[in-house]
Amino acid sequence: MQLTLARHPVTEINFGDKTRLDGTSLLVDAEELRALLLADDRLQSVDLETVRAGENCRVGPVFDIIEPRAKEPGSSPDFPGILNTPATAGMGTTHVLDGAAVTVLIEGSVADTEGRVGRVLEMSGPAGEWSPYSSLQHFIVAPHARPELATHIKLNATRRAGMKAVVYLAQAAMGETSAETTTFDAVGPMVEGREGLPRVAYVGQIFSRQRSPEIDEKVIYGANTNGMMPLLLHPDEWLDGAIVPSYTLSLGGAETYFYQNHPVITDLYRRHEAGELSFVGTVATIAGSDNEDRDRNCQAAANLAKWSLKPDAAVLTKFGGGVPHSDMAITANLLEGAGIRTAVMVSDMAKDRRIESALLFNFPDVDAIVYCGGVDTIWKVPRAERVVAGHPDLTEALAMSQEIGAASIVGILNQQGATRLRAVIY
């Protein structure tokens, strides 16, 4: 398996009469894209906007943020299980619009949200500086589903619209010369020539059974994770569309853009290519719904890593609130007991800023702990000059000066490594 990313830099996005790349400018035929999205009869309309990097603008409620990518013919499919049959991802060439993002909004009025504005994209000001998304050029897609549909059907249509939009935009790069290509080195437990290097695996949660997935909630290769046991994945599968986030971003803090640029996986690749370690592979798992479910999954994840990947060390991350802390810690403790050194990433869900409230496990062997930020960090944001809202009723609620917590600003709080927050004890 080998994945090549052909990168095409984008410094501005504008509407035009034909979708194409003009140097580093992306021109978009809005009517053609709108017709493509409205071919799904679950949608009755779709709004399209552009937002510049650093613009004094607030956008929300955010359903997902996705990097525009499209597969070259002969490669693995685009978003298998969502836009295509669930064939293995991570092979061939993927064209990437570097510096661009498609931000998909969820529809909801003030009445629907009880006055809450949900997760927002903050493009400027003190909070925006902490989000990597504020430096990107955003193409906003706001689908409006037929009101009589069930909520999960609306969300499924919204997810599909976002994926179709990113592939459509990235196809503008087909036939264009890329500014840079990235081809990932071979990794795995059987790769030769890595003798003497520490063998490192990644064990990552992709869902938490703190909530039951919807029947059409496509998380991994189009499946909703219901009944899922831990499984081995090639790192390229994570990076190339096999995994997308839950319908509910508030717990996971991971957007599709995150998975496409997964900081743990890409850093392990970087160190693998630098000859510092041997990256032997990944295990995808989920957090359990009860003690029996937890024990089953933790043991299976640890055993997969131990017997199939045979690592010397492993990095673990979680998905969700406080309970997934325990799943991750138990898995790490099992690995430590098998002689595999671990490092875990945690985030604090307590709001009282006390270490005692944040301490959800205490295994002496699990002592390499990286803090990824907590919900206690709050920004006072000024009134926004421009607002792009998923529903017009939310425009004023979004625009006003207000206090917004880190968990409500996309790109700031992430439990899996993509954050600039850290803990300081004083």
Residues contacting 307, CB < 8 A, separation 6+? none
Residue 112, pLDDT above cutoff 60: no
State which of 180, 214, 245 marks the end of a domain: 180
203 and 326 part of one domain: yes
Most confident of 85-99, 182-196, 348-362: 85-99
The tally of domains found in the chain comes to: 2
Q: How confident is the model at residue 1 (pLDDT cuts 50, 70, 90)?
A: confident
Mean pLDDT of 343-348: 85
Mean pLDDT of 68-91: 96
- Domain annotation covers residue 253: yes
- Domain annotation covers residue 89: yes
State which of 132, 149, 180 marks the end of a domain: 180
Instruction: Please tell me the predicted confidence (pLDDT) of residue 377.
Output: 79
Q: d(Cα 340, Cα 170) in Å, to the nearest integer?
A: 41
Spatial contact of 111 and 247, defined as CB atoms under 8 Å apart: no
145 and 190 part of one domain: no
147 and 282 part of one domain: no
Alpha-carbon dihedral angle through residues 101, 409, 415, 222, given to the nearest 10 degrees? -50
193 and 175 part of one domain: no
Residue 314, pLDDT above cutoff 50: yes
State which of 146, 161, 180 marks the end of a domain: 180
42 and 138 part of one domain: yes
Q: How confident is the model at residue 371 (pLDDT cuts 50, 70, 90)?
A: confident
Residue 408, pLDDT above cutoff 80: yes
176 and 281 part of one domain: no
Residue 346, pLDDT above cutoff 90: no
Q: How confident is the model at residue 113 (pLDDT cuts 50, 70, 90)?
A: very low
Residue 148, pLDDT above cutoff 90: yes
Round the average pLDDT of the chain to a whole number and report it: 91
Mean pLDDT of 249-254: 64
158 and 279 part of one domain: no
| Beta strands 92-98 and 137-145, pairing class | unpaired
276 and 141 part of one domain: no
CA distances from 347 to 182, 359, 370, 410 (A): 31, 10, 9, 15
Mean pLDDT of 192-216: 93
Residue 297, pLDDT above cutoff 60: yes
Spatial contact of 364 and 336, defined as CB atoms under 8 Å apart: no
Instruction: Please tell me the predicted confidence (pLDDT) of residue 407.
Output: 80
Instruction: Please tell me the predicted confidence (pLDDT) of residue 183.
Output: 96
CA distances from 183 to 46, 72, 275, 384 (A): 36, 14, 16, 41
Residue ranges of alpha helices (H) inside 240-358 are: 249-252, 256-260, 263-273, 291-304, 323-337, 355-358
Q: Containing domain of residue 286, as a range?
A: 186-376+402-408
Residue percentage of the chain with pLDDT more than 70: 91
33 and 89 part of one domain: yes
Instruction: Please tell me the predicted confidence (pLDDT) of residue 362.
Output: 85
- Domain annotation covers residue 216: yes
- Domain annotation covers residue 254: yes
- Domain annotation covers residue 391: no
198 and 129 part of one domain: no
Instruction: Please tell me the predicted confidence (pLDDT) of residue 325.
Output: 87
122 and 154 part of one domain: yes
174 and 200 part of one domain: no
- Domain annotation covers residue 308: yes
Has this prediction a pTM greater than 0.85? Answer: yes
- Domain annotation covers residue 413: no
The one-letter amino acid at 289: S
Q: How confident is the model at residue 158 (pLDDT cuts 50, 70, 90)?
A: very high
More confident residue, 236 or 355: 236
Alpha-carbon dihedral angle through residues 98, 100, 101, 102, given to the nearest 10 degrees? -120
Residue 423, pLDDT above cutoff 80: no
Q: d(Cα 159, Cα 153) in Å, to the nearest integer?
A: 10
- Residue 403's Cβ-count burial label (10 Å; 0-12, 13-18, 19+) is exposed
Q: How confident is the model at residue 209 (pLDDT cuts 50, 70, 90)?
A: confident
Picking from 41-45, 92-96, 289-293, 305-309, which range would have the lowest pLDDT averaged per residue? 289-293
79 DSSP 8-state letter: S
Residue 257, pLDDT above cutoff 80: yes
Alpha-carbon dihedral angle through residues 14, 17, 18, 23, given to the nearest 10 degrees? -40
- Domain annotation covers residue 420: no
Spatial contact of 74 and 62, defined as CB atoms under 8 Å apart: no
360 DSSP 8-state letter: -
